[in-house]
Amino acid sequence: GPAVTLQPETDAALQSAAAVVRLDELAGQGPLAAKLFGTAGGDPAMNGLYTHVAFFQGAADGWRVFRIGDVLDYRILSQRAGRVDLELEESMMDEASGRIGSRTRRVIVGWPIAADGSPPAEVTVTPAQ
């Protein structure tokens, strides 16, 4: 068939959407729709994956978003209702030498699960082993 020529989209909201470079749906959250996502930003040599957890509030309100941090990458270790365990890879600057190093740390991201399926008002991030 014939080719179709596309023109660039002009909706300003698509700029934010295009910045999303990673998306992970979180399963097992009951009626709550939840996801982890990362947007590109900052200096990619020093982290640059702005990592968030988001909960769907409804068509009128969209998503309630919480920023977890600015990392190189994350890995989901486990997940269950009200909790996701993450391994975070991060760049670290040695102030004395000026050298960039890296570290791996683990965190537990937790939130209460409401009986009515409403999104949490707050999220906690707790260091883990």
Q: Note the pLDDT of residue 45.
A: 66
* Rounded distance between C-alpha atoms, residue 129 and residue 115, angstroms: 30
Residue 105 contacts residue 127 (beta carbons within 8 Å): yes
> Which tens digit of pLDDT belongs to each residue from 67-108?
999 999 999 999 999 999 999 999 988 888 888 889 999 999
Please, how many CA atoms are within 13 Å of residue 124, restricted to the half-sphere of its CB? 10
pTM: 0.88
